[in-house]
Amino acid sequence: ERIVQVTPTEEYFSVNWQMGIRCNYDCMYCPAIYHDNNSSHHSLETLKNTWNSVYEKTQCAKYKISFTGGEPMLYQQSMIDIIREFERRGNMPNIVTVETNATKELGKPLEDFLYGPVNERGELEPTGFYDIGGKIWHWAMSPKLFNTSGENDAVNVDVIKSYAKTPSSSIIKFV
C-alpha cells in the first residue's frame, strides 16, 4: 500500500508493482513475508489510489510496469483490472512484465484479455492487449528446481509453453 520504488528511465517510466504476498511455494531463499498463502490481494480501489499517486508525480507519456509478488499469477484478474484502468485513463503501459514462477495456468479471462475472445466461428476477435498497437507483454519465468522449492513438479512445461505462445517476449531462468 505504499510506493516502494520510482525509477525513471530514458524512454519509459518504470513501475514495479508487488501484487501481494501470496505464493504457492515456500522457497528457502525467500523471506516468510513473501509467501503468505492467506493474504488477500489489494482492492481495485487501493490499486487505483496508488496509481493516482504515481501518475500525479510522473505524468509520463510512456510507462513500463512489472507485476511481482508473491506469485503475481495468483492475481490474474487484478492485473487485468489495473491495465483496464490504465486504458480507461488513456495512459496504457507500453510494456508489461509478469515475474512468475510459471506454475499457474493462464486463466480464461487473462487469455481473452491478451488475445481477444474467440467468436462462434473459432476466430479471435481483435480486441485483446496485442491488438492495441505497439504494446509488449513480457513473461519473466523463474521455475523453481526441487532443491529450491521442495516441489517435485515445480517445472511445469505445459504452463511454460502456454506463456511462451504469446506474441512478444519471454525469458526463463531456473532457480
pTM: 0.80
pLDDT of 30 reads: 77
Interval 81-97 mean pLDDT? 83
| 3-class SS of residue 111 | helix
Cβ of 1: how many Cβ atoms within 10 Å?
7
Q: At what angle do helices 108-115 and 76-89 cross, to 10 degrees?
A: 30
Most confident of 2-11, 26-35, 62-71, 146-155: 62-71
Torsional sign, CA 68, 69, 74, 79: negative
Average pLDDT value for the chain? 78
Task: With cut-offs at 50, 70 and 90, classify the pLDDT of residue 73.
Answer: very high
Q: Examine the pLDDT at 1 and tell me if it is beyond 60.
A: no
pLDDT of 135 reads: 76
Q: pLDDT digit string (tens) for 29-68?
A: 777 776 667 777 677 788 778 877 877 877 777 788 899 8
- Say which residues have a Cβ less than 8 Å from residue 82's Cβ, sequence separation at least 6: 17, 44, 47, 51, 65
Q: What gap in Å lies between CA 170 and CA 167, rounded to an integer?
A: 9
